Homo-oligomer: A and B are copies of this chain.
Amino acid sequence: MKTISENRAFGGVQGVYSHASAVTGGEMTFGLFLPAEAEEGLVPVLWYLSGLTCTHENAMVKSGAQRWAAEVGIALVFPDTSPRGDDVPNDAAYDMGQGAGFYVNATQSPWDKNFRMWDYVTEELPRELFQAFPLAEAAQSITGHSMGGHGALTIAMSFPGRFRSVSAFAPICSPTTSDWGRKQLLAYLGPDEATWAAYDATLLMKKRGFDGPILIDQGTSDQFLDLLKPEALAGAMAERRQGGSFRMQKGYDHSYFFVSTFMEEHVAFHAGALNA
């Protein structure tokens, strides 16, 4: 584990670290905020998965989450959104390849060698984190924005019991029926759409749901509403009688101004579930 930077922030430490990743076949970078309480013992963890084009850094510098995490003594993990590097496949489009891992395990060439973000975020990075830092494995929650909201929801529903709560900001709700999804799932997973279903929050909601509280915020002026398809997930939640809040926030768009506006409530929501 290499330390790239550590900055004191809100009484704790905002660090950036990198490590060799066997799963993605290269060096991976992530951000980790440790509140002051981490000096005394294990602290709960809130995972934040970022959206298209983001690195580990965007939410770390723009979401304002540390302020609220510090208040309740919770750590924040900011993984990258894909493998990186000159020897890692890429695509000229902003929504494919580097910066657009979509939190799946690719099975198709040339992506299958490196683009295994599902295993990276759910297996390898947790293992590394819980070994290296004072984090409470039994007290985890997860959130994310856009593509990261898709990641948070699908991962939370796929690992029952691991996450106490899940939330999302403007998540991609229905990738198997959206241009934010079909293109990438075809490239990463191939044409058999049966393999796509494990990565679709709406389909997982219909099939499994989530055994814990859910909070979703979506701006009504989001420029990507047609791609995000909130109606699919909101409908599935209501249909399943899934406990949770799906809030349409009037006038907000897809930017980090939207995320930072509601971050306080999301962190407080998770803190409640984490007894923090």
Contacts and interface: CB of A to CB of B under 8 A. Distances in A.
Copy number of this protein in the oligomer?
Answer: 2
Contact of A261 (B9, B253, B256): B9
Given A7-B255, A11-B261, A67-B260, 20 more contacts: A7-B253, A7-B258, A8-B221, A8-B251, A8-B252, A8-B253, A8-B258, A9-B257, A9-B258, A9-B261, A10-B257, A10-B260, A10-B261, A14-B257, A64-B64, A64-B67, A64-B260, A67-B67, A67-B261, A67-B264
Classify the secondary structure of A's interface with B: mixed
Interface in A71-117: none
A62 interface: yes
A230 interface: no
Which interface class (under 10, 10 to 19, 20 to 34, 35 or more) fits A?
A: 20 to 34
Interface of A: 7-11, 14, 61-62, 64, 66-67, 219, 221, 251-253, 255-258, 260-261, 264
A43 B174 CA distance: 42
Contacts of A7: 253, 255, 257-258
Nearest to A264: B67
A9 to B, nearest CB: 4
